[in-house]
Amino acid sequence: MPSTSSRAAETGVQDSSLHAPDTAARLRRVEKLANWMDAGYRVPVLGIRFGWDSILGLVPVVGDVVAALPSLWILTEAHRMGARRGTLLRMALNTGADVMLGSVPILGDLADVALKANRRNAALLRRDMAPGPRARTAPRRSTVELE
């Protein structure tokens, strides 16, 4: 029997439902928010892209907290969509690095421009939700005692 995501288990639908139009629409919303947060604006001459994550990061403490909320929504949405644990872990690490680096004055704002954690997370989620066989983690070894 094919494995099911937590959402699929609730509804009794198999993994093939993960690639339904609803999932595609959710992915588009995640990507739109990620682009808005990380690359919504461009410096004309330099071509450097930045978004609201970098702008909000200029406000000490409060700006970094507010900028973390959309990142946490993306992570929550990935969980609801049935993303694998490894993908969720990588997304959480990206978000954590973004929050930690972003909290450093001036250097953190430059790190926000360079890291683009939300766009990375959206790409990870898209890759995880792509149609086709999903890579499985290595099977766990059983610990059988030999007589």
The pLDDT tens digits of the residues spanning 90-146 come to 999 999 999 999 888 888 888 888 999 999 999 999 999 987 766 555 444 445 545
pLDDT tens, residue by residue, 37-73: 999 999 999 999 999 999 998 988 899 899 999 999 9
- Virtual torsion, Cα 136, 6, 76, 50, nearest 10 deg: 40
Domain locations in the chain as residue ranges: 18-129
Query: Would the pTM count as exceeding 0.85?
Result: no
Q: Which of 33, 32, 54 is nearest to 43 (CA)?
A: 54
Judge whether residue 3 has pLDDT over 50.
no
Point out the least confidently predicted range of 11-20, 29-38, 91-100. Answer: 11-20
